[in-house]
Structure 1
Amino acid sequence: MTAFDRGLLGHRCWLELATGERVDLPVDRWTAIPCEGDDVLLDACDGPTLDVGCGPGRLTAALSERGVASLGVDISATAVRLTHARGAAALHRDVFDRLPGEGRWRHVLLADGNIGIGGDPHRLLTRMAELITDGGTVLVELDPPGRGVRQGRVRLRPDDDGNWFTWAWVGVEAIADLAARTAFRVAWATSHGRRWFACLEKA
């Protein structure tokens, strides 16, 4: 169950870790128009782009408005409906299920911390390599330097049924090693404001 399905749009919510730590979720940013830092990702997409974990579709819709063929994918039916309401295409599907155009996407987006999907960044990037074409890229948003790679059980707060799921976080300094272990290399890494990004190319 996601923040979108729980009706938390417009409300403050966070991930609670098993340790008791709290990670605030930028729901307002997800539901807004493209904002500070988003152009780093959008400007790097010059061909068919798959937006994994698209949420309400701000990036999928922005790419469509730029004339870039794009498709959002999300496990939340509500998020997909919101993406459609923006006039963009999206599928209600798990990224590890069969997807259209496998092996032919020019770019894949893992924005807003979606490198954490499934709680296993190695498995996720291995899957991304199956989706993109030769010469394609994965554009990923990362945690600030010094965070390393973390994995843990989390649950959505405050309005959740208590179900725990696994998530992961990757600091920008850790992406080169992770990329090398998943048939990628880091083409570039940069920051904008408090956000960090990297572009991964198939090695």
Structure 2
Amino acid sequence: MMFDQALQGRPSWLDRPGATHELKVARWQADAGDGDSVLLDACTGPTLDVGCGPGRLVAALLARKVQALGVDVSPEAIRRTTERGGIAIRRDVFDLLPGEGRWHHVLLADGNIGIGGDPAALLRRTRQLLRPSGTVIVEVEQPGSGLTVGQARVRTEGTLGQWFPWAWSDAESVPADGFFLLWQAERAGRWFACWERL
């Protein structure tokens, strides 16, 4: 899978035409911290972590006695999440998921607003997953970054992955129809936003 080597903790980058982003693999492997408290504090009820990676947020929420389920397409992500005591299923977010329409919160951390290269379609899907007045909490780019949609690939130790669709967006540019923006926050150099389902 495209992120598996990064999930194993190997230094990795996300390349797109004209730009390269270093993937925060050390943060993914570590326990929750470095700004994650913004995400965790916003989750007070059953939470679905979309693109959970190695499960640091799922494990942290369970430690807080918050019901949490990770979803990821990578078997490596599921393995690592369960190894650290989390609960996760291997599934595409656009496939049928447990608890549709009943989740209190959906997390899109670590740039996962980019999944599929279509933030509008992804947020429409999260709206289906959430209960009325549920929230989607998103890690976004810094203000003024705008919305970029295009192709990306993972590069790890000289190995190039296949190109796939991805997106990057600041909070102002997220196409969040059917949601109301509740707040934006910055912590430890990371930016976050929370939208409530209308």
Give me the whole-angstrom Cα distance separating, in 2, the residues matched to 1:96 and 1:106: 18
Return the TM-score normalized by structure 1: 0.93
Return the TM-score normalized by structure 2: 0.95
Give me the whole-angstrom Cα distance separating, in 2, the residues matched to 1:7 and 1:140: 21
Letter in 1 for 2:14: L
Give me the whole-angstrom Cα distance separating, in 1, the residues matched to 2:116 and 2:72: 13
Q: Secondary structure at the match of 1:145?
A: coil
Q: 1:123 to 1:11 in 2, by over 3 A?
A: same
Give me the whole-angstrom Cα distance separating, in 1, the residues matched to 2:152 and 2:188: 27
Match of 1:197 in 2: 192
State the 1:12 CA deviation. Answer: 1.5
1:104-128, CA deviations, whole angstroms, 9 ceiling, x for partnerless residues? 0000000000000000000000000
Contact (CA 8 Å) 1:51, 1:108: kept in 2 or not? yes
Q: 1:144 to 1:73 in 2, by over 3 A?
A: same
Match of 1:25 in 2: 23
Give me the whole-angstrom Cα distance separating, in 2, the residues matched to 1:100 and 1:11: 32
State the 1:7 CA deviation. Answer: 6.2
State the 1:146 CA deviation. Answer: 1.1
1:156-181, CA deviations, whole angstroms, 9 ceiling, x for partnerless residues? 10354541101000113323xx22xx
- For structure 2, the 5+ residue unaligned runs are none
1:110-151, CA deviations, whole angstroms, 9 ceiling, x for partnerless residues? 000000000000000000000000110000000001110101
Give me the whole-angstrom Cα distance separating, in 2, the residues matched to 1:84 and 1:170: 30
Match of 1:143 in 2: 141
Q: Secondary structure at the match of 2:5?
A: coil
**Does structure 1 residue 12 correspond to structure 2 residue 14?**
no
> Which structure 2 residues correspond to residues 158-173 of structure 1 after superposition, within 5 A?
158=156, 160=159, 162-173=161-172
Structure 1 stretches of 4+ with a deviation exceeding 3 A read 159-162
Contact (CA 8 Å) 2:136, 2:195: kept in 1 or not? yes
How many residues are matched? 197
Contact (CA 8 Å) 2:181, 2:193: kept in 1 or not? yes
Give me the whole-angstrom Cα distance separating, in 2, the residues matched to 1:20 and 1:80: 32
Match of 2:33 in 1: 35
Contact (CA 8 Å) 2:7, 2:53: kept in 1 or not? no
Contact (CA 8 Å) 2:2, 2:162: kept in 1 or not? no
Match of 2:154 in 1: 156
1:12-62, CA deviations, whole angstroms, 9 ceiling, x for partnerless residues? 110111x24211110110110011210101011111000000000000000
Give me the whole-angstrom Cα distance separating, in 1, the residues matched to 2:69 and 2:167: 24
State the 1:90 CA deviation. Answer: 0.2
Q: Secondary structure at the match of 2:28?
A: helix
Letter in 2 for 1:194: G
After superposition, the CA RMSD in angstroms is: 1.3
Overall identity of the aligned pairs, in %: 54
- For structure 1, the 5+ residue unaligned runs are none
